[in-house]
Copies of this chain bind each other. A is one copy, B any other.
Amino acid sequence: MFVNVNAHPGSKPRAPGELGQLSRARVILSEFKYNKGTEIYGQAEPADYIYQVVDGAVRSHKLLSDGRRQIGAFYLTGDIFGLENGAEHRFTAEAIVDTTVRLMKRCSLEHVAESDAKVALDLLNMTTSNLQHAEDHMLLLGRKTSLERVAAFLLEMDRRLSAAGVMALPMCRRDIADYLGLTLETVSRALSQLHGKGILGFLGQTQRQIVLLDRMRLADLDL
């Protein structure tokens, strides 16, 4: 299952909210690599590890019996995921591109949290931000139009991964669609429409590098 091992203590600086916060818990940190498209963990599997994206991108989703898919979140560099506080994962997580993650054993963390309130509060804060994201996403899925959803998606990705004014999306149209509760065609049409209106531009022909030309009008669409 684990493709490659590259264990080291991890030396790059960490932003607040990363696993580093929990490092005082003295739990094992190691790195693994997942190839594009491979599963990191599956729904209903025991949740033995917590993960942090070192490099790459991850999608986590639920499936209905007939194959309909809802992506609950994308995890980008620095994000922590797999933080399920039941014994089992409630989503399936897959690498969208070749991805390196840092991981820690969950049970040891849990054990530490029982005695250390600081660690428990860290976990609480992380869970709370997941909850907040899910709450906002419910509003999007329940009440926004396709154009509003795509606009919100672009603003979210811009905030989370834009470098030098251009965002290089790791995910394909289908992933975006399954995140937004739309079809890939509808996503494509919405992007074309925004492009036509001069609100965004494409770089290269892969259509995955997007530059926001008019953040104002885009924000207007994100009601």
A172 contacts chain B at the CB level, 8 A cutoff? no
| Residues of B close to A166: CB separation below 8 A | none
What is the CA–CA distance of A216 and B214 in the complex, to the nearest angstrom?
A: 52
- Copies assembled: 2
What is the CA–CA distance of A181 and B142 in the complex, to the nearest angstrom?
A: 4
Kindly specify which of A7-15, A34-42, A95-103, A133-141 makes contact with the partner chain.
A133-141
Q: Which of A73-99 contact B (CB under 8 A)?
A: 84-86, 90-91
| Residues of B close to A69: CB separation below 8 A | 143
Are the CB atoms of A62 and B139 closer together than 8 Å? yes
A22 to chain B, nearest CB (A): 13
What is the CA–CA distance of A120 and B113 in the complex, to the nearest angstrom?
A: 9
A134 to chain B, nearest CB (A): 4
- 25 intermolecular pairs with C-beta atoms under 8 Å apart: A62-B135, A62-B136, A62-B138, A64-B223, A65-B223, A66-B223, A68-B143, A68-B144, A69-B143, A70-B138, A72-B138, A85-B124, A86-B128, A86-B132, A113-B117, A113-B121, A113-B124, A123-B124, A127-B127, A127-B128, A131-B131, A134-B134, A134-B135, A141-B141, A142-B181
Binding site for B on A (CB under 8 A): 62, 64-66, 68-70, 72, 84-86, 90-91, 113-121, 123-125, 127-128, 130-132, 134-139, 141-144, 178, 180-181, 223
